[in-house]
């Protein structure tokens, strides 16, 4: 069933020019929630999510793949997205990431720029320039970091204002 749902979701995403980033089914007190995260190089619009949601909902109902009540949610993974699969790490190369890794006695929290992704490890560069290889098997949790101060600056805006004065 999971494979069939994923096939429907991927087909719907491709038809609308986006890619499936992640998908999960979560139980709730009132049934299930099917969470679908989609991504695109140019970003994902609310209208994209609406169209994809309608198409997926129609197909799921037609094939009666999910038993009982469920809610379908389609959205982008967000600015700070979880990195669960190797493909997620590959898509985050050259971005700032935050990791929780299994340490010898306790978990370690690391933060830096993701430089490289290899079959069994990643390379993380810290703020001081030092780089470290980390086995994927040691990573407990990972996500991208969005620097709101730096990433939201509009280049050239301050210079344009000065030129007008």
Delimit the domains of the chain by residue range. 2-75, 86-149
pLDDT at position 123, please?
97
For the stretch 43-63, pLDDT in tens is: 899 999 999 999 999 999 898
Strand duo 31-39 + 70-75: pairing: parallel
DSSP for 68-125? S-EEEEEE---SS-B--SHHHHHHTTTSEEEEEE--SSS-EEEEEEEEEE-SSEEEEE
For the stretch 75-105, pLDDT in tens is: 999 889 999 999 999 999 999 999 999 988 8
Q: Which CATH number fits domain 2-75: 3.30.470.10, 3.30.300.70, 1.10.3720.10, 1.10.540.10?
A: 3.30.300.70
Fold that domain 86-149 belongs to in CATH: SH3 type barrels. (2.30.30)
The band of 152, judged by pLDDT with boundaries at 50, 70 and 90, is low
- The whole-model pTM stands at 0.77
Give the Cβ contact number of residue 62 at 10 Å: 9
Residue 151 pLDDT more than 70?
Answer: no
Residue 163 pLDDT more than 80?
Answer: no
**Distance separating alpha carbons of residues 9 and 53, to the nearest angstrom:** 9
């Amino acid at each position: 069933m999971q494979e069939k749902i994923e096939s429907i979701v991927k087909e719907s995403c491709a038809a609308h020019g986006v890619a499936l980033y992640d998908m999960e089914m979560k139980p709730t007190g009132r049934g299930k929630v099917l969470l679908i995260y989609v991504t695109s190089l140019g970003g994902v619009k609310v209208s994209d999510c609406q169209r994809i949601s309608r198409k997926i909902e129609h197909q799921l109902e037609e094939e009666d793949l999910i038993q009982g009540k469920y809610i379908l949610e389609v959205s982008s993974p967000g600015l700070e997205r979880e990195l669960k699969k190797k493909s997620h790490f590959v898509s985050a190369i050259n971005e700032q990431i935050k990791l929780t890794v299994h340490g010898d006695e306790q978990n370690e929290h690391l933060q830096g720029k993701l430089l490289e992704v290899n079959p069994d490890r990643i390379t993380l560069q810290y703020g001081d320039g030092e780089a470290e290889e980390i086995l994927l098997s040691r990573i407990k949790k990972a996500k991208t970091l969005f620097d709101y101060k730096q990433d939201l600056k509009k280049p050239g805006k301050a210079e344009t204002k000065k030129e007008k004065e």
